[in-house]
Amino acid sequence: MSVIQQTIESNPVQQVVFDNKTTNLLGLDRAALEAFFESIGEKKFRATQVMKWIHQMGVTDFQQMNNLSKDLRRQLSETSCIQNLHVAKDLISKDGTRKWLLQLHDGNNIETVFIPEDDRGTLCVSSQVGCALDCSFCSTGRQGFNRNLTAAEIISQVWLASQLLEEEKKPGRKITNVVMMGMGEPLLNFDNTITAVRIMMDDFAYGLSKRRVTVSTAGVVPAMERLGDTLDMRLAVSLHATNDELRNELVPVNKKYPLKELMAACRRFIDKQNTRSRITFEYVMLDGINDKPEHARELIRLLKGIPTLMNLIPFNPFEGSGYSTSSKKAVTRFREILHASGMTTVVRKTRGDDIDAACGQLAGKIEDKSRRHRRFEEPRFGMEK
Ligand code: SAH
């Protein structure tokens, strides 16, 4: 089997290895696809032609790509593939939220959720099978960690959702925004997340603007630095606590990267962005734990000077979590204190909870959970494949 190794110069974070028998073109961004075509003696512009076929027209059969020569179509089908995930379950909630359980080739499953709103349709995409970070209130964390998703497996979620939503032939069922807020910690799967985000933003693929793609992190500080240097997009930070003592308990990655470092990284991220942007902070409201007026006041002090969109998330309970949802009164009082300080604050509506599609309810099905601790202890940012 001939293996052509290629480093993409214009794209320093990416090392692409082409195995000419199995290259899945679905997961290659434009630079990688151009390099792929050059590696088989073709012109670079084939990349944008093929991207359009795959991502905009939804075509996965090379024979249908009628602006490619017959020879090239044959060569592509012999040397590469366009391989999507398998839809194992497809559920629609009373509120229109749609959730897919997607099966990977190794038997693992992940979940992807589409959330329609009046003026937009948001796709919540997974980045890993399970999660290693073990946040105490998150059911994905309880499942343990198995592995990173490949770029193809990440973008396949967008591909499948676009196709399946289009088949509904209903208004308002189009993906206008993507949030990397499904299963996993995207910044611990850095390279594959970035490749997938590039495809989401490419005009020859999904054409989403940088304001419409959000990467969410529990606070992996070195990877946040790298993200700011790599690409413009929206950043969301899962904060959930206003002091280290509580955050260590709720979001254990805080023991490694405490609040002071996290806040400094947020400030640097904002400075690096080309456009004026805000950071979305996510704050899950846990009854009696982090929802008191003094927490709100602490939050205001903590985020001083950072352009903020505050997202208060009512806790979505699951069996054995040990937490309960803050009362409406507590959430309102908390929001009012933040609001009075001038902070833009929204309370996230719980969506799709009847099909377990709400925040923190994504669980998938994991074949081997034993890797959680190994993964968490040795984060080598951006090196994972
Ligand atoms: N690992 C990344 C991406 C996951 S995003 C991150 O932490 O940002 C998923 C969001 O839902 C996070 O803000 C997470 O903290 C929140 N969440 C997890 N469990 C939840 C629950 N049971 N109820 C409400 N929100 C939850």
Residue-wise pLDDT tens digits, 173-215: 999 999 999 999 999 999 999 999 999 999 999 999 999 999 9
Specify the pLDDT at position 279.
97
Q: What DSSP element (H or E) covers 359?
A: none
Exposure of 242 in the CB half-sphere (CA atoms within 13 A) = 18
Q: Decide if 298 is catalytic.
A: no
Residue located nearest, by CA, to atom 4 of ligand 1: 181
Ligand 1 centroid, distance to 238 Cα (angstroms) = 7
> Quick one: pLDDT band at residue 366, thresholds 50, 70, 90?
low
Ligand 1 centroid, distance to 248 Cα (angstroms) = 15
> Is the pTM of the predicted complex or chain greater than 0.85?
yes
Cβ atoms within 10 Å, residue 88: 15
Q: Which residue out of 34, 42, 111, 282 is catalytically annotated?
A: 111
* pLDDT 10s digits, 37-55: 999 999 999 999 999 999 9
> Quick one: pLDDT band at residue 364, thresholds 50, 70, 90?
low
Q: Is 326 helix (H, G, I), strand (E, B) or coil?
A: coil
* pLDDT 10s digits, 112-160: 999 999 999 999 999 999 999 999 999 888 889 999 999 999 999 999 9
Cβ atoms within 10 Å, residue 66: 10
Rounded Cα gap, residues 309 and 272, in angstroms: 18
Residue located nearest, by CA, to atom 5 of ligand 1: 181
Ligand 1 centroid, distance to 193 Cα (angstroms) = 17
| Contact (CB, 8 A) for 85 and 91 | no
Ligand 1 centroid, distance to 159 Cα (angstroms) = 24
Rounded Cα gap, residues 257 and 261, in angstroms: 6
* pLDDT 10s digits, 237-269: 999 999 999 999 999 999 999 999 999 999 999
Specify the pLDDT at position 22.
76
| DSSP alpha helix (H) spans, the chain | 30-39, 46-51, 70-79, 139-142, 151-168, 190-201, 221-230, 244-250, 259-272, 293-302, 328-340, 372-377
Exposure of 347 in the CB half-sphere (CA atoms within 13 A) = 18
Atom of ligand 1 nearest to the CA of 131: 1
* Site residues for ligand 1, CB cut-off 6 Å: 135, 137-138, 181, 185, 216-218, 238, 282, 284, 313, 315-316, 359-360
Which is more confidently placed, 261 or 356? 261
Q: Decide if 111 is catalytic.
A: yes
Specify the pLDDT at position 19.
52
Q: Name the DSSP letter for residue 29.
A: -
Task: Give, rounded to a whole angstrom, the gap between the first and last alpha carbons of the chain.
Answer: 21
| Contact (CB, 8 A) for 89 and 165 | no
Domains and CATH numbers, the chain: 20-81 (1.10.150.530), 86-372 (3.20.20.70)
